[in-house]
Amino acid sequence: MRLLQSTQMRRVLGLGPALGIIGFFMVVPIAIIIVFSFMKSNPYGGVNPEFSLEAYKQFLFERNLMDELVFNAAYLRIFGRSFLLAIGTTALCLLIGFPTAYYMSRQPARRKNLMVFLVTIPFWTNLLIRAYCWILLLRDTGIINNYLIKWGIIDEPLTMLYTNFAIFLGLVYTHIPFMVLPIYARVEKLDFNLLEAAHDLYASRQQLMRHVILPLAAPGIIAGSLLVFVPCLGDFIIPNLLGGGKHLMIGSLIQLQFGGSRNWPFGSAAALILMSFVLIAMMIYVWGPGRKMKPEGDA
Amino acid sequence: MRSSTTSGPNPAGEKQFVIGRFPGFAATSWIFLLYLYIPIFLLIIFSFNASHSATIWHGFSLEWYLKAFGNDDVQRAAVNSLIVAFIATVVATVVAVFAALILARGGRFRGRGLSYGILMLPMTMPEIVTAVATLSFFTAIKLDIGLGRVVIAHTVFCIPFAFLPIRARLQGMDTTLEQAAQDLYANEWQTFRYVTLPLLMPGIISGAMLSFIISIDDFIITLMVAPAGSTTLPLYIYGMVRMGVTPEVNALSTVMLAISLVFVSTSYLIGRKKQAGTANQ
């Protein structure tokens, strides 16, 4: 009995501080924006404590001069663009990331470790600085344009910065390590005997890829895709710096509501919608096909 | 992490058979690595540029570094960044050690999965959501403590980054040494202080270093919660970048890249030593 009490006590004391900090300063704040999203906005910042569904209505409708609700697709378009950019980024990351992860896993141990290290470093460096690198390259008077003109290849600078192309490039650049690493973790464990066996049974390269490697790499591909898709959807730095704030994405839309345009309930609602996309994506990961494939891969 | 524990498919077989190989994969990988590093290298090179232009090379100079370090605003921002990162790292690492001990060693109990989920929450939530939620919370409770707001927000998201390496280390440790200590009449505190803690140290250092860089580099959450006058380095750089491209930004960015690189490399080397240690056991 005393033993039980003391282990119980220990668990509370051990986990208490960490859970307390996250609970009080993260779970409570999320509860607060849920409450805020159902209130009226205060033009001077913050909210007026009155119940209202205005914030959610604002996604689809706006009020005209007669105070009637009229359909407004502006915000839907922002969500649509964010989704398209996030899906496009995920696809391109997969296209580059899968061959890279596979190639890395086939290297001798020393080079393999070096390559993993090289892919990991950008993750730990400042996102802002990595976006800034691309401003340096893509600007009208940037490195690429300057040298292209200097060498006489073009006369007029190419407009590359502040375009959808720049956003896309920046999103892929900053998120691709999240695709490579989980796939690598899977294919690295791939049993070479399986490939040999398939080869002995006259499997072609394509068949080998489709029936042996891809099924075993699938959980890594799913994890990587989520790890790219989710942060892309809410990204704020890249669309702001490389898109010049012209091409809004969900992240910048949320930030604007708490900054310049000051509509906290609407910003809270947008944040919650973004959060629910993330939760849905995570649930797909936990209960979806990834789970079924895990034991198969470990065998 | 996993790479050196499993020795990989037999290296001899790899050379004999071309079966595991696909055309274009090698080229893709090397192009990918170039794509990853060329922009960073250009940034570093141009930070040593002698001209006022940030993008045409004129010769080597340290002018911009001197200018950046001599700037009062930069110094203030750097001090703020260091204060925040230091406090957040210490608090996050200490609470993460205890949480990891319970979750890795405390057996199964109700709420274990939930506790783990809550610990990972700051890592899974999109940063912008955390940022506006924290801002709303601080505003709602009228918490106006200047840089303290930034410290609190950073501590929260540093916890999972400190926790994961510590837990990984605990899971890889076997308990024989601790049992031996107890057989030799060490009490619980002595066992923890002289056996568990030294063995756990590489994980703790690794976790602390990762927390430190995550905090030093954070931008979005800091941007939202930092009141005027509590500028950190990334906020200062953002302000400068929005004004235009100057070689001073290149110099500052290079310094921050160097800091991250040193910390990650150290953390990585400590991690590798740890693996060698477990492999020998």
CA distance B19 to chain A (A): 7
- The answer to the question of residue A48 being in a domain is no
Residue B72 and residue B205 share a domain:
yes
Nearest to B245 among A124, A135, A255 (CB): A135
Residue B235 and residue B141 share a domain:
yes
CATH assignment of the domain containing A182? 1.10.3720.10
Nearest to B253 among A33, A129, A230 (CB): A129
A239 touches chain B (CB under 8 A): no
A186 touches chain B (CB under 8 A): no
Answer yes or no: are the C-beta atoms of A39 and A51 closer than 8 Å.
Answer: yes
CA distance A167 to chain B (A): 15
Residue B15 and residue B128 share a domain:
no
Cα angle value B246/B249/B253 (rounded, 5°): 150
Q: How many CB pairs under 8 A join A and B?
A: 281
- The answer to the question of residue A14 being in a domain is no
A contacts of B268 (beta carbons < 8 Å):
117, 120
For all residues of chain A together, what is the average pLDDT?
Answer: 82
Distance CA A194, CA A217 (A): 13
pTM over 0.90: no
Residue B203 and residue B126 share a domain:
yes
Find, among A285, A129, A294, A145, the residue nearest to A222 by Cα: A285
Nearest to A234 among B13, B128, B153 (CB): B128
Which residue range is the domain that position A264 belongs to? 74-298
B contacts of A190 (beta carbons < 8 Å):
9
- The answer to the question of residue A199 being in a domain is yes
Half-sphere exposure of B29 (CA within 13 A, CB side): 23
Judged by DSSP in three states, B60 sits in strand
Residue with tokens 């509370």: A12
Cα dihedral A175, B25, A188, A226 sign: positive
- The answer to the question of residue B262 being in a domain is yes
- The answer to the question of residue B231 being in a domain is yes
- The answer to the question of residue B129 being in a domain is yes
- The answer to the question of residue B89 being in a domain is yes
Q: Which two tokens stand for residue B51?
A: 């001209």
Question: Which value, in Å, is the radius of gyration of the alpha carbons in chain A?
Answer: 24
Question: What's residue B280's pLDDT?
Answer: 40
Residue B34 and residue B113 share a domain:
no
Q: Which two tokens stand for residue B163?
A: 């926790």
CA distance A66 to chain B (A): 32
Contact: B98, A21; criterion CB under 8 Å: no
In a mutagenesis test of the B interface, which of A95, A129, A246, A298 is the best target, namely the one with the most B β-carbons within 10 Å? Answer: A129
B contacts of A92 (beta carbons < 8 Å):
none
A261 touches chain B (CB under 8 A): no
Residue B109 and residue B26 share a domain:
no
Q: State the average pLDDT over residues A144-163.
A: 83
Judged by DSSP in three states, A48 sits in strand
Residue B130 and residue B30 share a domain:
no
Contact: A136, B129; criterion CB under 8 Å: no
In a mutagenesis test of the B interface, which of A10, A12, A15 is the best target, namely the one with the most B β-carbons within 10 Å? Answer: A15
Distance CA A174, CA A240 (A): 14
Q: Which two tokens stand for residue A37?
A: 């999203």
- The answer to the question of residue A47 being in a domain is no
ipTM value, please give it. 0.83
Residue B16 and residue B68 share a domain:
no
Cα angle value B154/B160/B164 (rounded, 5°): 145
A122 touches chain B (CB under 8 A): yes
Residue B219 and residue B94 share a domain:
yes
> Which amino acid belongs to residue B62?
L
Distance CA B244, CA B6 (A): 49
Cα dihedral A115, A116, A119, A124 sign: negative
Residue B143 and residue B200 share a domain:
yes
- The answer to the question of residue A11 being in a domain is no
- The answer to the question of residue A244 being in a domain is yes
- The answer to the question of residue B159 being in a domain is yes
- The answer to the question of residue A201 being in a domain is yes
Residue B18 and residue B71 share a domain:
no
Q: Tell me the angle at which helices B247-280 and A109-124 cross, rounded to the nearest 10 degrees.
A: 140
- The answer to the question of residue A284 being in a domain is yes
> Which amino acid belongs to residue B56?
I
Distance CA A93, CA A110 (A): 25
Question: Where are the strands (E) in chain A, listed by range?
Answer: 39-41, 47-51, 61-63, 69-71
Question: Which value, in Å, is the radius of gyration of the alpha carbons in chain B?
Answer: 23
- The answer to the question of residue B54 being in a domain is no
Strand pairing class (A61-63; A69-71): antiparallel
Distance CA B154, CA A21 (A): 11
Distance CA A237, CA B238 (A): 9
Q: Into how many domains does chain B fold?
A: 2
Answer yes or no: are the C-beta atoms of B170 and B192 closer than 8 Å.
Answer: no
Q: Into how many domains does chain A fold?
A: 1
Which residue range is the domain that position B230 belongs to? 63-280
- DSSP structural state of residue B49: B
φ, ψ (nearest 5 deg) of residue A147: -75, -35
Distance CA B140, CA A32 (A): 8
Residue B17 and residue B134 share a domain:
no
Nearest to B118 among A19, A126, A134 (CB): A19
Distance CA B232, CA B211 (A): 16
Q: Which B positions 96-155 lie with beta carbon below 8 A of chain A?
A: 96, 98-99, 101-103, 106-107, 109, 115, 118-119, 121-122, 124-137, 139-140, 152-153, 155
Sequential pLDDT tens for chain B (281 residues): 333 334 444 444 444 446 677 878 888 889 999 988 998 888 888 888 877 765 677 778 888 888 888 888 888 999 999 999 999 999 999 999 999 988 888 777 888 888 888 898 888 888 899 999 999 999 888 888 889 999 999 999 999 999 988 988 888 787 888 888 888 888 888 888 888 888 888 889 888 988 998 899 899 999 999 988 889 999 998 888 887 777 888 888 898 888 888 888 887 777 666 554 444 43
Q: Which A positions 51-70 lie with beta carbon below 8 A of chain B?
A: none
CATH assignment of the domain containing B206? 1.10.3720.10
CA distance B193 to chain A (A): 16
The predicted-structure confidence for A85-131, as pLDDT tens digits, reads as follows 899 999 999 999 999 999 998 888 888 888 888 888 887 888 888 88
B8 touches chain A (CB under 8 A): yes
